[in-house]
Amino acid sequence: MSKQDYYELLDVPRDASDRDIKKAYRRLAMKYHPDRNPGDEAAELKFKEISEAYEVLSDAQKKAAYDQYGHAGLGGQGGMGGGFEGGFSDIFGDVFGDMFGGGGGRGRSNVRRGADLRYNLDLNLEEAVRGCEKTLKVPTYVSCETCDGSGAKKGTTAKTCGTCGGAGQVRMQQGFFAVQQTCPTCHGEGKVISDPCNVCHGQGRTQKTKTLEVKIPSGVDTGDRIRLSGEGEAGAHGGPSGDLYVQVNVKEHPIFERDGANLYCEVPISFVDAALGGELNVPTLDGQVKLKIPAETQTGKMFRLRGKGVKPVRGGALGDLMVRAVVETPVSLTSRQKELLEEFRDSTEEHQKHGPKKHGFFDSVKKFFEDMT
C-alpha cells in the first residue's frame, strides 16, 4: 500500500521504543478510525496506512528487516491488505484496558512485589567519618510462615475467579464504548481464596519488627542512602519483597562543621598570642595536634591542616581541617591589668603602624564626609 516511511507515518523517531510506537499508533488510530470519520475516504486511507506501519514496526522480525532494507526488505508481507478490521470500540477498550490493568481477557497474577521502606538513621560525625555498624529495628510486613505467603490455608490453594476468569477485570460496554473495571468478586486479584490462612487471614504476610545489622561505610554524609535489597515489605501472595533504604542524617557536632571532604572549626586565641605569636593545641577527629600561630594574627585567619578532614564515601582525595582563629578579648581584668592596658593603648595610639586597618578605616570615613561637603 503506502511507500511512505513507516516511522514518519507514526510520527516517531527511528530509535523509538515498542511502548512509544504502540502509544503513537493508538493516538493516530483513534483520530483516523472510520467509526469516528464516517464517509471520509482520506481518513480511511490514512487509517490503513498507519495500521500497515504499526503491523511492521510492532513485529520484531519485520521491523529488523525494514530497518535494514526498507520496504524492499518486507518481501510483500508488510501490508495489512485492507487495514484494521476491528471497530472503534476495540481500540478504545484496549486503551482503557491498559490504563486500568485489564488485558482483553488476558490473565493477571495476584502476586505483587512488596513496598520499599525508608529508615531514617541519625549518626554522629565520628560514626559518619569512620564508618560503623548499626542495629536497626524495622516494623514491616514479612511473608507468612504458616501458609508460605500464599494466603490460603495449609493444604489448600486459591481458585481462579469465576467472574473475571482470572483477569482481575470485567469489561463493561455501552454502544461503541468499552471500559475495563476492577472485578467486584476478587477485587482485581484474579483469584479467590475460599479457605484463608487463619494466621494472615488471606493476606499472605504478617506484621513483624525485623532486626537488621547494617554496615555504614566511612565517609557518608547527610542525604546519602544505603539500599538493602529485599529487606522491605514482603510481597502480597508470595511476591518478592521490596527494598529498605537507610537515609543517613549526620547530627550537628559541638566543635566541627563538615563541608564535603573538609572539616571546619573555630579556635579562640588570646590577645597576647595573637600579637606575639604562640602555639596552640588544636582538636582533630584523631586527637590534638600542635598549631603554630604567627605574630600579628588577626581574627578570621584560616589555617589549613592537610589530611585531617574526611575521605569521601564515593572516593576522592582526603579532605583538610580548616582552623579559623578568633581573637578573644580579655575579661574580668584586675586594676593592675587595666593600668597596663591603658599604658599599652597610650603607647600605640599615635602610631599608625600598630593598627593599619583601624587608621585606614577612619581615614576612609573622614574622606567620605569631606567629599559629601
Domains recognised in the chain with CATH numbers? 6-86 (1.10.287.110), 117-250 (2.10.230.10), 257-328 (2.60.260.20), 335-372 (no CATH)
Provide the residue count of the chain.
373
Q: Are strands 117-123 and 244-250 parallel, antiparallel or unpaired?
A: parallel
Phi, psi of 159 (to 5 degrees): -105, 150
User: Residue 46 and residue 129: Cα distance in Å, rounded?
Assistant: 65
> Residue 278: beta bridge partners?
293
Summarised one tens digit per residue, pLDDT across range 233-287 is 888 766 788 999 999 999 999 999 999 999 999 999 998 898 899 998 999 999 9
CA 73 to centroid of chain Cα atoms: 44
Summarised one tens digit per residue, pLDDT across range 31-82 is 888 777 888 888 888 888 888 888 888 888 888 878 877 776 676 555 444 3
At residue 2, the 3 state secondary structure works out as: coil
Is residue 337 a contact partner of residue 330, using CB atoms and an 8 Å limit? yes
Q: Lowest-pLDDT range, 77-81, 159-163, 345-349?
A: 77-81
130 CB neighbour count, 10 Å cutoff: 14
pLDDT (0 to 100) of residue 73: 66
